[in-house]
Amino acid sequence: MKNLNMKAARAGKDLSQQQLAEIVGVSRQTINAIEKGDYNPTIRLCIQICKALDRTLDELFWEE
Amino acid sequence: MKNLNMKAARAGKDLSQQQLAEIVGVSRQTINAIEKGDYNPTIRLCIQICKALDRTLDELFWEE
DNA sequence: ACAAAATGTAATATATAGTTGACATAATGA
DNA sequence: TCATTATGTCAACTATATATTACATTTTGT
């Protein structure tokens, strides 16, 4: 399922997928795939993304 | 680094590594490795573990 | 309308998450 | 003390997260 929280938080920081990818040290495609929701990143990458976007794990990655 | 929060939460539910592994559908070695801290589980597994232990991602997996 | 940037999406390759089986030691209870 | 269960750890395997390259489409600014 799509990660719209992450997309919104990234937009709120005015970062492109490319820019976020560079900050957290992964490829643009990885960021794209996570937002698109068709895969399952590692917790360390999630934590990196949270720190880059000033959000918590629960805010960006929790799902019921 | 060791995940003592997870170890404590599991103890609080009186579950063995084996039992938790069965609940979340991974091997006992995987649970052991996560608690021992020498690797990087996927977010979906983290969420499964959180649900099994009635904790949130931030409570069990956030790290400064 | 045009150009540039951002995003979506393949295919192939590599690193590593997670499995399986096995064995050793530590902890627990009868 | 003895048997059982829980935990730690290793080696070899399989599945999948992530990289790289490439190209198409959509968005944005002028």
Judge whether B63 lies within some domain.
no
Give percent of chain A with pLDDT exceeding 70. Answer: 100
> In this complex, do B43 and A40 lie within 8 Å of one another by their Cβ atoms?
yes
Prediction pTM value? 0.94
CATH number at residue B38: 1.10.260.40
Q: Give me the domain span that covers residue A47.
A: 4-55
B47 touches chain A (CB under 8 A): yes
Q: What is the CA radius of gyration of chain B?
A: 10
Mean pLDDT in consecutive groups of 10 residues from the start of chain B, 64 residues: 95 97 98 93 98 98 90
Q: What is the DSSP letter of B42?
A: B
Burial B15-47 (b: 16+ CB within 10 A, else e): bebeebbebbebeeebbebbbeeeeebebebbb
Judge whether A61 lies within some domain.
no
Judge whether A44 lies within some domain.
yes
Judge whether A38 lies within some domain.
yes
Judge whether B20 lies within some domain.
yes
Instruction: Say whether the CB atom of A43 is under 7 angstroms from strand D.
Output: no
Give me the number of domains chain B comprises.
1
Judge whether B41 lies within some domain.
yes
